[in-house]
Every structure is written in C-alpha cells, then in structure tokens.
C-alpha cells in the first residue's frame, strides 16, 4: 500500500555566494521536481529554503513508492524469430534473454505490417529511499556553478564546502552519501547566535524549528520581506525614504540568516561628493541602503543589515560607521583628485587604451563618436559644435580614479567633471545621459544632444562588433548588443526622431579608418535592429501579423514604421478589414499566377460590367484623395477612406471573371486589380493580416 509523507533535503555549507543564492535554490527544486516526474512519483507542493549556509527543499505529500508497471517490448518479426521448423532462432533467444524471460514466455502480436513477437515485463515499483538519493545527486550536479571547489580530502565538488546533509522522509532518515556526507536528521543553527546541532523530527517542523530555536529565517522571500520592512521602519525614525534597489535587497538577503536593520550615520562633510558616488560606495562596499529626504536629497545616514543581535548595539553601529567613514573618505579623495585635472586633458590617455584589438583604441572610438554625434545632431537641428564636443569628452571619465573604482558611474562622473570644467550645460547633460537606457524599463535621454550621443555610441558598438563578426548567438551576447539595439529603437520612437536607419549605418561604417572585415555589416545590423523592433512591439501588445504587413513595405524609417503600425492596427479593427484583406490575398494570387508585373493604366473603354466600371471609378477617386494623405504620413486617415472600397471590391469578385480568354480584357482587369493593390501598398501589405 502506498503512503504519502513529506520529504526534506537540506545541504549545509560554508557561506554561499549571495548574488546567486536565490537562483541556486530555485534550480535545485526544479531539477528535483523534474526527476520525480521522470520516475512517476506523485507529490504535492514543493517549497524552497535558502540562507547563506543552507539550501533546502521540502516536498509535501511525496508518494512512498512507484506504481508497479507492465512494459511491452516488441522484438523481431515472427519470421525472423522462428525457423521453418518452428524452432526459435538465435535472434529470438537473444531477445528473450534481454527481457529476462524464457522463450516460451514470449507472445505474438499482429499489426498491419505483419506479425511480431513481444514480451510483457512486469516491473515492481521502487521505494522513495531507493530512488531519491540518485535524483538529488543528479539535481546537484546540474546546478549552475561556474567554479566548483574541492575541500579537505574529498573528491566531490560543490560551490562551497559541505558540512552536513539532512534527508528525511516522514520521521525516517533516508541513508545515503551525498557530496561526501552521510545523511542524517541533524541541522545546525545560526553560526554565532546558536552554533549547535538540532534534531529535525519531521519535515513539516523544519521552518518553525529554525525560526524559534536556531535564530534563522530559512525562507528567502520571507527573510527578504522582513529586511525590507525593517529598512522602512528605520527610515521612518528620521522621516527619510530608503533607496531600496532590488538587486541589493536580494544580495543582502543572501548574506544574513537573522536580519537586524541598524540606522547609522556618516559625517555631513561627505555630502560635497556627488550623491551617486556616495550611494555607490555604500551599496558596493558595505551593502548598505542610502537615505534621502522629502526633497530627494541624500542624507548623512545609511541602514546596514546585521546578521546578529547584540546587547551592545551602539558599539555595533559605531563599528559600521567607522568602516563606512573610511570607504566614503576614499570616494571623497578620488573626487578631489579627479577634479585637479580637466576632463579633456584625459583624452590623450585614451590613445593607450585598446577598445578592441581589431577596432583600435578608445581614442579611435572617441573620434568616431564625435563625428557621428555631430552628424545625427545636424539632422535634428541641434548644435553641431556642442555635439562634437560631447563625443570627444564622452569616454574621458573612464580615465578617472572614481570610475575606475565604480565603473557603473561612467557618464555620471563625466557630467560632474564637465560641469566643474565649465562645459556648456547641453554637453554636461549629454555626458550624463549617454548610457540611457541602461536596462529594461530605464528612462531614455531627455535632452536632444543626449539622444544624439546615446544613438552614436550604440550604433558604433553594433557596427564595430558585427563588422568584425562578433555577432550574438543564442543566449550569448557579451557586448550587450541586443540591449544596444533596443536602446536605439526606444530613443528613436519615444523621442520621435525622423532618422533613416540605412543612412545612419552607412555613416557609422564610414567612420572606421580601416575597412571592416564583414561586407554584410550594414544589412546584418539593420536586420538585427528590426528584430529588436519586432520584439519591442510584441511586448507592447502589437499583433505579429500587423508588424509583418508593415515591415514588408517599410523598414528604414523607424518613426514612419510606428505611424504605419498604429494605422494598420486601427484599420484591422474595422469591419471592412477582413473582407479587404481576403480580397488583397486573392488579388496577389491572381497577379502572381499570371506573372503580371506591369504598371499599365486601365483602359476605361474595355470595361464591360457595372461592377468593374464602378471599382475603376472609385480607385481613380481614391488615388486623388488618399495618395496625398499617404505622402503626408496620414496613414490612418487614408486607410479609413480605403475601407469604403469593401462593397465595390466584393461585388467585383462576385460578378467579374478576371482570367477571361480575351487577352486585352484580361490584362485590363489585372491592371485594375494591380492599381487596387498599389493603393494599400502605400502603407502595408494587408494580404499578410491574419483575420
């Protein structure tokens, strides 16, 4: 009789990498679940636990053993299994042995392809204790561990040394050797607050036992929410708002087991350093959360998350403040030292920094950026000299001590130093905005010059990488080219910049001193950007067939594409759209089968029926009214007018035979249909709409 009990696995380790803790936990649970599905062991909810010193999985209601199974194996054809005298052949005997039965136990089956021998093999289901160790071992071996390590005399490898392994089913220990450790029901508490062994009496008691006895909140999500709650409460004490970045919150959750938020201070003299630099120092070096006031100004406070509770809390806070003071002093020193040299004076150093071996130095890139930014700015009626200046200064802050310490501040620090040097406000803004958008959902540059520089930087990156055949494949995109392409799409569309994509790419290519090895660079980068455009629109809920219809006619001007997509989306919702799309497909098929490629005018004297005369008249009228609208990019208005052709088009196909024997009449009717099609093709190929 099969029973259902809970199963608990806990891997106790040295401190795990905090940034990957959540991923490791989720991956372990998913792999175990897949293993259970494969061997057909039913179970209930799977719950994960993850702290710096443990990965645990609780499986509720796990079936105690597999169901018995009968497997049918088909063997050789009957004619090959027995000779003419009816004796089993070697083939037949070999098949029986492979099934673990006697020849007389084999059976015969008839199919539409002949007769075959087969064997029914009865397999008794195995128990959880027999199956689960192998499933766990396999799951652990598939964890995303970039650099596994060995420890002591062990030959096993894992992300960190393993000190204990808990494996219990119900109240019973499942004996196994996992990662060099014998399984037990003993876990260990907080390293400092309760460094003792605890006995787990049942899987269901695991979480409560650790929380009430061992000073551990094992649930990652619960611990994260507790940390967030404590941070908010601490900030309220001084009427402040905490800057809670999701990545930092997850990382801190992966560092502590029993969180205690502490409100600390630093000297207000450090506030003369740019806020971004102070926030980076607090975040990167001390894993602490910064605080701002109601005016969004940085305050001389920070919140750190301790992993211990101490009666000497003031002394603990003093220790954190002392360490933070040293970190902020470093940032202050870097800032003062960087300001002793003008930003433009660092340009010479970029000549000695290789951007990419095949693409030249950082100075070469800067030179290209200056020219390309100016070219884009000219099309936007922006100040060309300031655009050139922005390009020249764009990468100079990479040579500063502050950016060397905090790479994520590139651009930001450049803007501060440019302002200190007396550069024009437009140049200062452009330097700060050049890397926007930096991630999904990030804002795009606000200033026109910032958009020009951001576009130039991304275009140069794309063309350079594709030009030396460093093209993203699969999930690999080390240069962030997909993000760069999406940034180009967003900047052009959201800022409504009328730019021709092939012209931009040609201008970018011409900026490289040496010919790029890839002759197809322009077409490939163009296609790559269009693919990002497709993905972006689909994320916005635009139908794939609308995209297909528009891009079949226009893929050079992204802003114009956007206008067409909105027009076709609106047209698609009209009652007439389905009929006209179907008619358009029919027209395409007729002209294609007839290999008709002429642009001949319609001879009105050859029109016979009222339906074709009416359609011809209406097409001429629509040419005069909608073509000017299309030329003015008023696609939505033009398509709405063309929707009135639905009934005349339907009537034409109901009453008129196009492919008649008389050549003049046939060609004249095809010319009529060609003109009808051309009217819609001013906007999109509506035959591609899936209605």
Task: Say if CB 670 and CB 596 are below 8 A apart.
Answer: yes
Tokens describing residue 467: 């030009």
Domain edges within the chain: 4-66+127-213, 69-123, 220-339, 344-541, 564-688
Beta-strand (E) ranges in 87-219? 107-111, 114-123, 162-169, 172-173, 177-178, 181-184, 186-188, 197-199
C-alpha 176/C-alpha 294 separation (Å) is 58
Q: Which of 33-47, 524-538, 652-666 is predicted least confidently?
A: 652-666
Kindly report the average pLDDT of the chain as a whole number. Answer: 93
With a cut of 60, say whether residue 238 has pLDDT above it.
yes
Global pTM value = 0.82
Q: Which residues pair with 358 in a beta bridge?
A: none
SS3 content of the chain, % helix, strand, coil (to 5): 55, 15, 30
User: Which of the residue ranges 224-238, 475-489, 603-617 has the most confident prediction, judged by mean pLDDT?
Assistant: 224-238
Residue 73 pLDDT: 84
C-alpha 156/C-alpha 178 separation (Å) is 9
C-alpha 564/C-alpha 549 separation (Å) is 10
pLDDT category at 114 given cuts 50, 70, 90 is confident
Residue 588 pLDDT: 87
SS3 call for 509: helix
CATH of domain 344-541: 1.10.3210
Task: Say if CB 80 and CB 93 are below 8 A apart.
Answer: no
DSSP 85-123: TSPBPHHHHHHHHHHTS-GGG-EEEEETTEEEEEEEEEE
pLDDT digits (tens, 9 = 90+) for 64-106: 888 777 777 888 888 888 888 888 899 888 988 888 888 888 8
| Backbone torsions φ then ψ of 340, nearest 5 degrees | -75, -15
pLDDT category at 521 given cuts 50, 70, 90 is very high
With a cut of 90, say whether residue 547 has pLDDT above it.
yes
Residue 111 pLDDT: 80
C-alpha 511/C-alpha 522 separation (Å) is 13
pLDDT digits (tens, 9 = 90+) for 135-194: 999 999 999 998 899 988 888 899 999 999 999 999 999 999 999 999 999 999 999 999
Taking phi over 0 as left and psi of -120 to 50 as alpha, with beta for the rest, 170 belongs to left
With a cut of 90, say whether residue 269 has pLDDT above it.
yes
SS3 call for 181: strand
Residue 2 pLDDT: 64
Burial of 222 per CB tally in 10 Å (0-12, 13-18, 19+): middle
Q: Is 564-688 CATH 1.10.1740.10?
A: no
With a cut of 60, say whether residue 1 has pLDDT above it.
no
pLDDT digits (tens, 9 = 90+) for 320-379: 999 999 999 999 999 999 999 999 999 999 999 998 889 999 999 999 999 999 999 999
Strands 162-169 and 181-184: parallel
H or E element, residue 13: strand 4-13
pLDDT digits (tens, 9 = 90+) for 292-315: 999 999 999 999 999 988 778 899
Averaged pLDDT for residues 44-57 = 97
Task: Say if CB 352 and CB 361 are below 8 A apart.
Answer: yes
Q: Out of 3.40.50, 3.30.70, 3.20.14, 1.20.120, which CATH number does the structure's domain 4-66+127-213 have?
A: 3.30.70
């Amino acid at each position: 009789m099969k029973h259902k009990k809970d199963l608990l696995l806990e891997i106790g380790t040295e401190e795990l990498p905090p940034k990957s803790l959540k991923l490791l936990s989720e991956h372990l649970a998913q792999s175990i679940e897949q293993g259970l599905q494969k061997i057909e062991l039913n179970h209930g909810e799977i719950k994960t636990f993850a702290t710096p010193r443990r990965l645990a999985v609780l499986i509720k209601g796990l079936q105690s053993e597999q169901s018995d199974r009968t497997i049918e194996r088909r063997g050789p054809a009957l004619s090959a299994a027995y000779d003419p005298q009816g004796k089993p052949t070697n083939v037949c005997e070999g098949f029986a042995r492979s099934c673990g039965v006697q020849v007389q136990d084999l059976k015969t089956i008839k199919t539409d392809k002949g007769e075959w021998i087969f064997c029914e093999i009865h397999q008794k289901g195995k128990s959880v204790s027999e199956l689960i160790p192998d499933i766990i071992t396999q799951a652990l071996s598939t964890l995303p561990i970039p650099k596994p390590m060995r420890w002591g005399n062990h030959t096993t490898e894992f992300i960190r040394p393993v000190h204990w392994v808990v494996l219990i089913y119900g109240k019973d220990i499942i004996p196994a050797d996992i990662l060099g450790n014998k399984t037990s029901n003993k876990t260990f508490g907080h390293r400092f607050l309760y460094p003792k062994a605890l006995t787990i009496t049942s899987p269901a008691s695991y979480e409560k036992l650790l929380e009430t006895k061992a000073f551990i909140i094992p649930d990652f999500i619960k611990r994260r929410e507790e940390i967030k709650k404590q941070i908010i409460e601490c900030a309220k004490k001084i009427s402040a708002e905490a800057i809670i970045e999701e990545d930092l919150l997850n990382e801190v959750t992966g560092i502590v087991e029993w969180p205690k938020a502490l409100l600390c201070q630093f000297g207000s003299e450090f506030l003369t350093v740019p806020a971004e630099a102070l926030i980076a120092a607090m975040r990167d070096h001390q894993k602490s959360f910064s605080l701002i006031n109601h005016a969004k100004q940085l305050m001389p406070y920070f919140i750190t998350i301790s992993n211990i509770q101490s009666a000497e809390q003031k002394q603990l806070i003093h220790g954190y403040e002392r360490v933070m003071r040293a970190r902020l002093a470093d940032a202050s020193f870097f800032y003062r030292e960087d300001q002793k040299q003008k930003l433009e004076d660092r340009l010479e150093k970029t000549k000695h920094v290789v951007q990419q071996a095949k693409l030249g130095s950082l100075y070469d890139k800067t030179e290209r950026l200056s020219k390309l930014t100016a070219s884009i700015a000219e099309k936007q009626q922006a100040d060309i000299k300031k655009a050139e200046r922005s390009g020249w200064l764009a990468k100079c802050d990479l040579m500063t001590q502050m950016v060397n310490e905090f790479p994520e501040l590139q651009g930001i620090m450049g803007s501060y130093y440019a302002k200190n040097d007396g550069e024009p406000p437009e140049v200062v803004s452009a330097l700060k905005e050049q890397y926007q958008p930096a991630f999904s959902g990030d804002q795009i540059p606000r200033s026109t010059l910032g958009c020009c520089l951001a576009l130039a930087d991304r275009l140069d990156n794309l063309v350079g990488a594709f030009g030396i055949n460093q093209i993203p494949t699969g999930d690999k995109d080390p240069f962030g080219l997909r993000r760069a392409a999406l940034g180009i799409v967003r900047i052009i569309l959201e800022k409504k910049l009328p730019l021709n994509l092939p012209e931009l790419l040609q201008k970018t290519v011409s900026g490289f001193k040496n010919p790029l090895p890839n002759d197809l660079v322009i077409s490939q980068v163009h296609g790559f950007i269009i693919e990002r455009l497709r993905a972006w629109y689909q994320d916005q809920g635009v139908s794939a067939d609308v995209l297909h219809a528009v891009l079949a006619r226009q893929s050079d001007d992204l802003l114009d594409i956007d206008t067409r997509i909105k027009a076709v989306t609106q047209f698609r919702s009209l009652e007439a759209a389905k009929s006209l799309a179907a008619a358009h497909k029919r027209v395409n098929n007729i002209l294609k089968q007839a290999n008709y490629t002429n642009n001949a005018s319609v001879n009105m004297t050859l029109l016979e029926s009222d339906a074709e005369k009416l359609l011809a008249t209406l097409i001429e009228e629509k040419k005069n009214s909608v073509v000017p609208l299309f030329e003015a990019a008023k696609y939505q208005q033009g398509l709405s007018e063309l929707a009135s052709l639905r009934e005349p088009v339907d009537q034409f196909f109901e009453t008129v035979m196009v492919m008649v024997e008389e050549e003049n009449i046939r060609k004249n009717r095809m010319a009529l249909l060609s003109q009808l099609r051309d009217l819609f093709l001013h906007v999109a190929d509506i035959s591609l709409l899936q209605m």
